[in-house]
Amino acid sequence: MLILTVVMMPTGAAKAEDEDAQEPSDVYLISNYEELKAFASLVNGGNQGANAKLTADIDASDDNWTPIERYSGTFDG
């Protein structure tokens, strides 16, 4: 069983913006499978340096997962 958690801005996820927040403003917060898929699409679409933080467990066992390729950012999770 694969469990992942990711927050993504392109799919409605919030990108950390608060200067007082602990996360830098260039980190995508991923909290559900749709946000994880959107992040994978972002990275596979050419933004290999995007940074993300997984904020919840994600269950991707009911779907065909397309792996993230050539990733050079930071993924905290």
pLDDT in tens, 1-42: 444 444 344 444 445 444 444 445 689 999 999 999 999 999
Q: Which distant-in-sequence residues (6+ apart) come within 8 Å of 20 by Cβ?
A: none
Task: Tell whether 77 is covered by a domain.
Answer: no
- Return the closest-CA partner of residue 2 out of 50, 52, 36: 36
Residue 12 structure tokens: 């409605």
Q: What is the pLDDT of residues 38-61, one digit of tens each?
A: 999 999 999 999 999 999 999 988
φ and ψ at residue 37, rounded to 5 degrees: -65, -40
Beta bridge partners of 66: none
Residue 38 belongs to some domain of the structure: yes
pLDDT at residue number 18 = 46
Considering its fold, how many domains does the chain have in total? Answer: 1
Residue 22 lies in a domain: yes
